[in-house]
Each structure stands twice: as C-alpha cells, then as structure tokens.
Amino acid sequence: MENSLLSKITLISVIYTFFIVCVVFGQSRDVRELKNWKFHLGEIQNADQYDFQDKAWENVIVPHDWAIKGPFDKEIDKQVVRIDQNNEKEATEKTGRTGALPFIGVGWYRTKIPIENIKSGKQVILTFDGAMSNAEVFINGKKIGNRPYGYSYFYFDITDNLFSDRENVVAVRLENKAFSSRWYPGAGIYRKVKLILKDKVSFKHWGHFITTPYISDEVAKVNIKSQVQGENVVLKTIIRDSNGNLVNQNLTSQRFGDEIEQSISIKNPEIWDIDSPILYTATLELHQDGVLKDSEVIKFGIRDIDFSAERGFELNGKVVKFKGVCLHHDLGPLGIAINKSALRRQLTILKDLGVNAIRSSHNMPSLEQLELCDEIGFLFLAESFDEWKKPKVKNGYNLYFDEWAEKDIVDLVHATRNHPSIVMWSAGNEVPDQWGSDGVKRAKWLQDIFHREDPTRPVTVGMDQVKAVMENGFGAILDVPGLNYRVHLYEEAYKLFPQGMILGSETASTVSSRGIYKFPVEMGFNKTHDDLQSSSYDVEYCSWSNLPDDDFALQDDKPWVIGEFVWTGFDYLGEPTPYDNFWPSRSSYFGILDLAGLPKDRYYLYRSRWNTKEETLHILPHWNWKGREGEKTPVFVYTNYDSAELFINGKSQGIQKKNNSSNQHRYRLMWMDVVYEPGEVKVVAFDEKGSAVAQKSIKTAGAPHHILLEADRTTITADGEDLSFVTATIVDKEGIPVPNATNRLNFEVSGEGNFKAVCNGDATSLEMFHLPSMKAFSGKLVVIVESTKQAGNIQLKVSGKGLRQGQINLSSK
C-alpha cells in the first residue's frame, strides 16, 4: 500500500517536473469560420457532386436567410387551420401566420476548402450552429449525414471524406416544407458554420462540462469533466479571472474511461450574478509525451441556483423572481441570419427595461445569444421543442420526434451547458401531448434525458392545457411546472401540484401597435379594427390571455409564483394575432417593443415595475388629435411613483393614486375623463411624502419639418458585420416629434459602410426591408447601417419630400 502510494506521488512529481523543464512543441486546434458560399434557390440535380459548375450561383455570406428579402405574398404557406392554443372552434384561413415570406422550398449551398487548409494526420470536424431545415450535408459528392430539425446544432467528423491532393467541396441541401411552422422560421444556413482542425489526440467536440458545486466567500470548487480521445495524455488547466490574472492551475493524468475529472479551488471567488456577471476563463491543454495536442478556452461563471417550495428560485442564496420575456429567433428586418450586434442591441434595451431573464421561444438558442447573456447578466430558460409526437402543424417536428428527440436534446445540453446564464431547460411548449397517458410518459422520458446529461438544472414545460395536466399527472412530474396564461387556474394548480411553486412560463399576450390609440378606451379580448392595428392603451389581449397587470398582481401577492416570461419582448415575423385572418398583417402585435426595436407604451409599464433603479415617468397617448377637440381622450401615466397630478394646458385634472380597486388601478395612473384640446400635457409625480419629485410633458406637434437621427452606437467595428441602428424621427420646426407622420423616407450611406435594412414597426407594411426607402410609421423608423472591412468614416443621409434632410456621421474602427 505504501509502495503504491509512493509510486503515485513519484509519478505526479515527475509529471510536474517534466512540464516545468520541458519545451512544449506541437499545435493546438485551428478553428475557421466558413463564411463565403455559393447559393441557389430551387431544386437542382447533381448539385452535391464535386465537379458541379456553380459559377452562376449567387455569392452569399453565411449566416444567411434566403427568404427575408421577400416579397411578401399572402399565398405563401396559407394555412386553413383551427388553432387549439387559441381556443378556436373551427378552421379559418391564416394568411400571415408564417410571415408571408418565401421560405418554402429547396436551397443549395456550396463552398470549397482549399487544400492548404487540410493537414495530414489531423481530425477535421464540420460544425453547424443551425440550418433551416432538413439539412443534408455532402463532402466531395458523398452524403455524410443529415439533420432535420432547423434549430439544432450538429457536427460531422469529415476526416475520412477529404481529399489530400486537391481542394474539397462542401454542399448542403436544405428544404423547408409547407405547413411546418407556426411563425416565420426563416430559411438557409442562418447560423455559423465552422471547420475545426485538431489532432486525433484531442478533446471530444463539446467535451467539457464545468460546474461549481461548492461556493463560499472564502473558496469555490470548480469541477471540470473533460472527454478525451488518445492514450497517455496529461491535462493541464489554467484558470484566470475576468482581468486575466492567474487564480489557479491544475495538472492531472488520472482518467476513467474517456473522462478526466478535475476539482480546482478558487479562493475569494467573484460570483456571477445578474448585476455582476463576472466570468472566469479556463484554458484546457491536452498533452501527450510533452507535446501540446489540443487546447480549448472556455468561459464560465461561479454561481449557485436552487429551486424550492419554501423559497422559490434562488440565485446565490437570494430569492429572485423571473422578470423575463420570450424571444423568437428572428431579428426583425434582418431575418433569422444571426448577428451578434443585433442581439446585443436587443439585450441592452431589455436590460434598461429591467428584464432579468430570457426564454428562447420555441427554439434552441444561438450560441451568440448565450454568450451575451453570460456577459451582460441574464438568466436563461433554454427551450427545445414546440412539438413532440402529436402535431400542431402537418409537417412539424412530429415527423422527427421518435428518431431525433433524444439526439437533439443531448446536443442542446452538450453545446450550451457551460453557460452560467442557463438556469433551466424547457422540454417543450404547449405540446398537444399534454392530453393522455402517452404524453405523460414522453414528458418523463424527455426530462430524464435532460437530467442524465445535466443533473444540475431543472426542467420545465410550457403548459396551456392546465386542466388536463392537473388531472393526468403531466404537470406533477416536472421539476418546475410552467403555466402558459390561465391565471384563473394558478391557485388550483398550486394546490394540486406537489412542487410548491408555479412559473409563468408564458404570460400576458397583450397586443398593441406603437403609437396607435383606439377610442373609446375599452378593455377586451380579440378586438379588431379596420386599420388592422391594436390599441397602444394596452387594454387589448387575446381570448386565452390577459393584461400585464394580472400577472403583476399574482407575482406580488403569491410568493409561490416564481416569476414570468412575457409573450413577447420584441415583435416577430409571423403569427399576427388578432389579425391572422386579415391581410396584409404579417407580423406579431405581442411585443413590448415593435419589430424595429422601438418601445411601445407597454415598455414603460413593465419598466415602472421591473427597473427599480431608474425613474420611469411616461405619458400616453400622444397629443395630436385634430378633430377630437372637446371629446374624452383618456390619459394614462406609467410610473414607478405611486401618485401624480395631471395638467392640460396648465389646468389640473386632479391627482391620481395607485389603488387596489382593480389590477389596472394598482399599476397604472389613469385619467379617464380628460377632454382633448391641443397644447401641453404635463404630469407631476409625487413621492410617498407627497412632495413633487419629477415631471414630464408632451406637446401637440405642428407640421412635419425635418428628420432627426439618433444612433444606438456611433462607432462600430470594421469587420463587415457590425451594425449601427439609427432611429429616424420626423419632427416639426420646434423639434417636437410628429407622432402621426407617415412620410416616405429615403436612405443613402457613404464611406466605409453600407445600407443593410430598414424597419418601421408596422405589422401591415409590405415594403421590403432591404430597399433604401420606406414610409415612417407613427413618426419613426429605424435604419440599419453595416460596416465594411475597412476602417473609416460613414455617413447616413435620410431625406423625404418636403422635409429638411437628416444626416449623421458614424465611424468604424
């Protein structure tokens, strides 16, 4: 026994000495993004073959969405269906359900890998972060695999399929079927494709799992499990803090099967939290015979999560309620082609709103989105499927569930599990399998897969058939029961479910159009209007849903309601409820922000409750109502203060104080009997002592006079991908925004930048996003400028007939 222990100690000493005195040779992995592709829309014979002539094909940059440039057409994927989730009793025509953009059909992509990029003896992995959909991948004319689910990450080892004496050809066939989605799914290789060249002695793809099972003020335990391939290897791990300082390192050769496990201590750890998203970096090096064979760098956070009946959700020992939003995967006018700059803008806006959590709805999130949530500080609910075995749409995931569900979940977990932002998995959303015993078995099977692959996080499902899941046990077996709407059943579900908590996995579905107000102001569901817009008084909702205030009250009054995920943070393409039977509606009305990323009034209602660090004082509606003189025009104020006094042209309309007479009076200040007269609306807010502490005013605008431009960032990166989002506002000669202006605006970009896209946030507009001209909607629109790969100055000019031109100078570095 003593000799064995002595031998082990001696071996470890030799290893450490070896690493200290030896000069380490070898090469680490080489990761290359495949950006430049040839593209053809439509089926074509032999496009997978090595010597196929594709010179006439379009040159595109991946990530790419072939459908976003349109045109919009009501006949595209027109579905005649009865939507159970919407409580519909009969089938009706749905013209804009999937965005009315031409995503259906076959698309081919081809690219070449130069021979100098392939080195003898290397293992070559081809990775896809997402391809929409039914991907078939070919190397040099040979099919190497397929992946039907458009939201999956996947990869292939292509080592044995490569030529060593000539360039290699990658071909990808995608096919989107009709009746395969409930929203705009997009089309194409819309996330990144990478080529990974590494030694055959190396880490397996997605082979690391980093957790922090013990945390105190003095020390944190970092556990790292690494899957390796190759014999007689030594793993060296170096951990650095957010400033790049070395905090600890470890060396081990102990191995169990294909896994090497390490436990490394970090003294006085800095904790990852929503308000302080501090990240550490682990550099993992794999050596064999003193030669570096592989190396990976992984960012991670030290944080602790817990879900309990007694305290709900805890982050690092503190109770936190989810102030979350659901996000679809499209980026509005950019389509589904992933862009980190656009994602960063979304999350920056949501941070100001006070959002602390994101639900990827109803898809597997992009890796870029998770990286940003780690960096900025968001909790993340990572969702997998919108369908299981029972269909919602004819050609949906139900076709692939039996064969692919486990593989898709395994890859989701392995690809993303090191992100500290992820605190929960979702196995599905509103699946029809909620009915019946087979669905209960499927729910348990899926949850068990998540537990097997990641025992550190709980699993939920967004359940809308609440009566059914209370009766058949579906809801009782989940780690966290998630209810989609059905606020009237929360109490009953809480009593019946054993978990002792309820998550609002999808809430509100209030609908509104930015800057559009309807009279009289009446609360109600499924309300429609002749102009196909919804009122921004925030009093209209859907038959299955409710107003935001109802969710606020539940979370404030019921400690067992652990938070909510609002449907939705931003408007998205497709699903134009309540106008899905009406053309030309082609995008949603649910967003707290519109499709252009401009705040609706509802933004300030949520902000007044969620962003407790900043002042919120917002007045609605606008005050340009020619023809309504003398008519009642209610005024709402969204504020974090409890009371305020309203003035119209200096005349007091009285003081309103939040009260419990209704949920709306509890969270909004409302003056229902205001009579419209042009001029100034002013609100003065009071603190708890009755002292005036803040004021805000809006004024009636004159005729449109000039264009005011404001960029979210005036300096961007010269990488050919970075974006600046410039808001164009039509104002009168005094600089007051004209809230009902609809002037056509034209855009010209010069210098080291390009016009990328434009959006006005109007769900009924059929103007193309990629053309440099569009009408303003409610006085505004957003122009997107893209950098080139050359540093320099960029100038955007926005003009319109009868308007003084707007001009803004940007730069790229």
List, by residue number, the catalytic residues: 430, 506
For 17-72, give the DSSP string.
HHHHHSPPB----EEEE--EEEEEES--TTTTSTT---TTSEEEESS--TTTT---
Q: How many CA atoms lie within 13 A of 593 on its CB side?
A: 26
Burial of 390 (0-12, 13-18, 19+ CB in 10 A): middle
Query: Apex CA 329: angle with CA 327 and CA 331, to 5°?
Result: 95
Closest CA to 594 of 761, 345, 777: 761
DSSP 740: T
For 374-396, give the DSSP string.
HHHT-EEEEE--S-SSS-SSTTS
How far, in Å, CA of 233 to CA of 235, rounded? 7
Q: Tell me, rounded to whole angstroms, the distance of Cα 550 from its chain centroid.
A: 25
3-state secondary structure 250-291: EEECCCECCEEEEEEEEECCCCECCCCECCEEEEEEEEECCE
Query: Cβ(435)–Cβ(463) under 8 Å?
Result: no
Our CA dihedral for 448, 449, 451, 457, rounded to 10 degrees, sits at -120
Closest CA to 240 of 227, 215, 214, 222: 222
Classify each residue of 276-313 as buried b or exposed e, where b means 16 or more C-beta atoms within 10 Å of its C-beta: ebbbbebebbbbbeeebbbbbebbbbbbbbebeeebbb
How far, in Å, CA of 336 to CA of 185, rounded? 8
- The amino acid sitting at 282 is A
Q: What are the beta bridge partners of residue 812?
A: 716, 792
Pairing of strands 122-128, 322-327: unpaired
- The answer to whether the Cα torsion of 341, 343, 346, 350 is positive or negative is negative
End-to-end CA distance of the chain: 64
DSSP 334: G
How far, in Å, CA of 527 to CA of 27, rounded? 64
How far, in Å, CA of 227 to CA of 241, rounded? 24
Query: Cβ(505)–Cβ(462) under 8 Å?
Result: yes
- The answer to whether the Cα torsion of 786, 193, 25, 22 is positive or negative is positive
User: Which residue do the tokens 């996947």 mark?
Assistant: 154
Tell me how far CA of residue 346 lies from CA of 338, 340, 369, in angstroms.
13, 10, 10
Q: Tell me, rounded to whole angstroms, the distance of Cα 43 from its chain centroid.
A: 32
Query: Apex CA 98: angle with CA 581 and CA 724, to 5°?
Result: 120
Our CA dihedral for 368, 374, 379, 383, rounded to 10 degrees, sits at 30
Query: Cβ(663)–Cβ(547) under 8 Å?
Result: yes
Number of residues that this document lists for the chain: 813
E-assigned strands of 165-242?
168-176, 193-199, 202-215, 219-229, 233-240
